[in-house]
Amino acid sequence: MVRDGRRRERLRWSKLYSFSCIKPSVVLDTEAPNSLSGPGFSRLVHCNQPKDHTKKSLNYPTNYISTTKYNIITFLPKAIFEQFRRVANLYFLLAAILSLTPVAPFSAVSMIAPLAFVIGLSMAKEALEDWRRFVQDMKVNARKVGVHKGDGRFGYKHWHKIRVGNVVKVEKDHFFPADLLLLSSSYEDGICYVETMNLDGETNLKVKRSLEITLPLDEDEAFKDFTATIRCEDPNPDLYTFVGNFEYDRQVYALDPNQILLRDSKLRNTSYVYGAVIFTGHDSKVMQNATKSPSKRSSIERKMDRIIYILFTLLVLMSLLSSICFAVRTDLEMPDWWYLQPENTTNLYDPSKPTTSGIFHLVTALILYGYLIPISLYVSIEVVKVLQAMFINHDIHMYDGDTGIPAEARTSNLNEELGQVHTILSDKTGTLTCNQMDFLKCSIAGVTYGVRASEVEIAAAKQMASTFPDENSINHYLLENNGGDFESSEIELDGGITFAVEKARKTMIKGFSFEDDRLMQGNWTKEPNAATILMFFRILSLCHTAIPELNKQTGGISYEAESPDEGAFLVAAREFGFEFCKRTQSSVLVRERYSLPGKPVEREFKILNLLEFSSKRKRMSVIVRDEAGQILLLCKGADSIIFDRLSKNGRMYEDDTTKHLNEYGEAGLRTLALAYRELEESDYTIWNIEFLKAKTTIGPDREAQLERLSDLIERELILVGATAVEDKLQKGVPQCIDKLAQAGLKIWVLTGDKMETAINIGFACSLLRQGMKQICLSTTNSDLTSEDAKKAAKENILMQITNASQMVKLEKDPYAAFALIIDGKTLTVALEDDIKNQLLNLAIDCASVICCRVSPKQKALVTRLVREGTGKTTLAIGDGANDVGMIQEADIGVGISGVEGMQAVMASDFSISQFRFLERLLVVHGHWCYKRIAQMICYFFYKNIAFGLTIFYFEAYTGFSGQSIYDDWYMLLFNVVLTSLPVISLGVFEQDVSSEVCLQFPALYQQGPRNLFFDWYRIFGWMGNGLYTSLMIFFLNTNIFNDQAFRAGGQTADMAAVGTTMFTCIIWAVNVQIMLTMSHFTWIQHVFVWVSIAAWYLFLAGYGMSSPLISGNNYKILLEALGPAPVYWAVTLLVTAACNTPYLAHISFQRAWNPHDHHVIQEMKYYKKDAEDQHMWRRESSKARQETKIGLTARVDAKIRQLRGKLQKKVSSLSIRTAR
């Protein structure tokens, strides 16, 4: 590998950063190095000596990773185990084995072949899904990175060949192959920029730095004789901590997370880095956060097992009764049946051994009555689910035209589970947001600027339109909130309602959506407070840590910022005429276009100090000296922090700015306040001496001293204004969340971002709103390593939870809403066994829950807590590797195929390209799939009970002889051919309402979580229907054919004629029943039902015409025996009507007196109320939503209540004045 040369023109950031980058790392002789012996700290790494780790005591894993459920060795045993977790499959396996014995009433092939087909099909599907995961793993393992081969030479190796101790060279925009110790970089002071999006979801770049002692290792040849030793913590999942020592040149240096580069994070804005491998493969922190791929089963499938237990119990009881009766008759009556030659029989019919005969008959009965448990149910469900998955995959409404990516059901096992979701746990970055910040509005000198509406405002206007479909009120709403400079466009709502929305003109500048002519093109110089505006723009262009990058092709400048907010501020400053164009080690150059009339001018500002942003400080400041020699402190931060630091003379614009900040927050925008202070030379000099002294202090008080001095200088500020940046949500996110909330779903956000960012996004997507009471759980103790500290933190958090729960319970306002916000450090304690249930109870009582600064492991643990604690169906959705754990832990995992790679998609059960498609996936496909599968399974049990019990009745009728009334071919074809297509059409095409109606009436979704169509009442109802049908079919047929001739020639019916007539009645009864069950008919359903009935007659005719050696007693039974007999057709009609009349009466009564929601909607659609009476249709659709306190609807409702309150106050005041 050829080295590109050290980039010495780059900045020495350690001279600028006040806190992290210059923290002394060497352990001085007067200090004792960290003791890293004992449990948890046994890792020993010999740098540049990977072969030393092949010893038994240091047998570390390779860098090969696998996320598959199976491998070549485990596939057969694990896959077979998965299949035989289904209790019905166990029964049919036993039946298949017994079919090889003489006691079987059917041939062995007829039992073994269907079982082998079902098991083989399911295993093939499992293998295909796991093969996809294997291919993805191979792509990762086959990536290449530069590795030191010896003698200062580097060469490329595949990731999976890397070993602990290797020195690797990672180049710009490449992922780190393992957890590394940073040794040096292309910057002369050993810093590098790292993107950790795949780990914690954050898009801002992190600054990492090497130890000073390893800075000379700046080229390939420097590693020729390099050796060192690392002693550190054992592999663990904590992304934010690292404890270790680095032994080099007989010195010991302390290591912390600032020197560690984690696997799956990416090197950015740095040409290359050198690093020593510490953790490989599954020892790396990202893999420690991974969870094993689970085997998921839907709740309906688990309940189906319990139904099969019930049916199996019924089967055993029937078989026991049959065998006991058979044994009794064998003992008492068979000796008198001379025609059976009882003295010349086998053990199966031995009068001298009735108990033995009874036991053999028990086995026969278990197989004979096996039609109570339908083996074809599993095949049919597999087929239906695959077809349902195809419809999901081909839904054009879930196809993203921009990326060309459709929705994909990666596993079809969980289709119906989509319709029963109770809680959604969502990632933020890349899932709700699209990782783009846009400068939208600002407040300067008490004046608000920016006329464009935010996405939240436009979405709220749409919602307002559906509530008050008056165009003027909508325009007034937008004008009132945005100032009035808009283009008009027409927006179409669901159901064809249209209204005009004022929408600003689009701009093509990324990061800048601001529009207001008062500030653009230098017009700000004509404003009354031009001097304050000038200071505002200078703060934007100077108060940051970004680096300008010159694009040699276009000549333009781009900015590499640590956070997307800073990037948006710099783009805004450039568009306002203040272009940050160059940074040196001690100065910043800004090109100002309009500060002087006539020509642009470049101004240089000397950087004296930089006090960087942290989640604790909630602000950042830069101290600069301008060209006139004036020293300025420029500060930006959270408004609550800035306002507390304002001087008496600096509060001139505080009230107006506060009002604007509230408006921006209501619009879902992220806000920061901007302020400045002019420093006297003498005051600054005194402070700087103290500050430099604190920077070079060694010891535990260093951070506290720096914080104290920073707080001292960041006082007596003068407020300039505030910024409002829109964290661009993915298209349709607020509307999607609103619809899901109306459908009764709870939504939690789990993000690695800091609390402020998470809260801003909560406002943006309407999970939070103005007036919602926020419960913030946090721990003030930063050190949770000691037992005393853990105990104190636990008591503190438990007290916070108890107080918050009490506050929620005592709240009297019915419209009050609570939001729970908790950070990762607090979750570490709160997820312990003795606290987590109290936390969950509090979270359930809150309208929305936001967990921030959470690790991937914590995301999975929170998901597990919700899933196990509530017992309800959970869905997790995310787009990055850091979301894999929660995706696998949830009942349903949905991956977003976004910009963060395919790790989340590969681990998911369903994948979509945009969060907004989740609405249709759940509210439409989930609702349909749940009802289809539920009705299909209930119908399956109905028809098999109706069929199987007739066999039992005939057994009793014939003295429990083991004789079936039906021909073997009839029984074989019943489930496989003659009734399979209609039930498949029910599972694939049934729709109680259309997709448009599902979206207009989201409360229909609650039929799934409430399990209306698969509760025990309905299940036993269908079983009772099957029992009634079997009684009607058997006893009507046997009584009609018993004592009379059925043909003109006087012939009476034999067993073949009665059995065929009964089977004909079953075919008609169950097919008419499924037609009564269906709400939505297409030509496909008609074809499937009538073809199934016709197939029975065609088979009967063809089978009867075959040789008597094949057809036996059924030779020409339709054409010559039953066909010409009117009683055959009359019985078929009579029995079919008798079987289905009670169900018809039941559904008629239900629709008339106790209708479900979908019954009402179906009737409205039938009478075309949606077209002829739109007012009624809108009124009913507005009612058909679950009461919710989150989403745009809740935001609009709160706004309406606020306006009504104001109106009532005005009316009251007018009444009082009139009375006076």
Q: Which residues are annotated as catalytic?
A: 427
CA angle 497, 498, 501 (to 5 degrees): 140
Strand, helix or coil for residue 1034: helix
Which residue bears the tokens 């070079």? 696
Rounded to 5 degrees, φ, ψ at 367 are -80, -40
- The upper half-sphere exposure of residue 105, i.e. CA atoms within 13 Å in the direction of its Cβ, equals 26
Q: 253 and 25 in contact (C-beta within 8 Å)?
A: yes
Helices 376-393 and 927-957, axial angle in degrees (round to 10): 160
Residue 1047, token pair as written in the block: 């043909």
d(CA 303, CA 294): 19
Place of tokens 């799934």: 1008
Bridge partners of 892, per DSSP, are 875
Q: What is the dihedral angle through the alpha carbons of 383, 386, 389, 390, rounded to the nearest 10 degrees?
A: -100
**Among candidate residues 437, 665, 677, the one with its CA nearest the CA of residue 562:** 437
Q: How far apart are CA 988 and CA 936, in angstroms?
A: 10
**What letter would DSSP give residue 771?**
T
Q: Structure tokens of 387?
A: 């077809």
Residue 778 amino acid letter: S
850 three-class SS: strand
CA 730 – CA 433 distance, rounded (Å): 5
Q: From residue 1137, how far is each of 389, 941, 1068, 1071, 1143 by CA, in Å?
A: 36, 20, 10, 12, 10
* 8 A C-beta contact, residue 1065 and residue 1136: yes
Instruction: With CA atoms as reference, report the closest residue to 209 among 377, 385, 38, 14.
Output: 14
Taking alpha carbons only, the member of 402, 388, 145 closest to residue 275 is 145
Q: How far apart are CA 163 and CA 53, in angstroms?
A: 8
Judge contact between 817 and 773, C-beta under 8 A: yes
Give the orientation angle of helix 530-542 with respect to helix 564-575, to 10 degrees.
140
* Burial classification of residue 218, based on how many CB atoms lie within 10 Å of its CB (0-12 exposed, 13-18 middle, 19 or more buried): buried
Q: How far from each other are the two terminal CA atoms of the chain, in whole angstroms?
A: 92
User: Which two tokens mark 784?
Assistant: 């949770």
Rounded Cα distance, 911 and 414, in Å: 13
Distance CA 611, CA 18 (A): 6
Q: Is the dihedral of CA 598, 604, 610, 614 positive or negative?
A: positive
Helix (H) or strand (E) holding 332: helix 299-332
Contact 764, 726 (CB under 8 A): yes
Separation CA 251–CA 1014 (nearest Å): 70
Cβ-in-10-Å burial (0-12, 13-18, 19+) of 526 comes to: exposed
747: left (phi over 0), alpha (psi -120 to 50) or beta: beta
**Cα 1135 from Cα 1147, distance rounded (Å):** 20
Q: Which amino acid is located at 44 in the chain?
A: L
Closest CA to 1088 of 1100, 1103, 1099, 1078: 1078
Count the neighbouring beta carbons within 10 Å of the beta carbon of residue 563.
19
Q: Which residue matches tokens 């539920």? A: 934
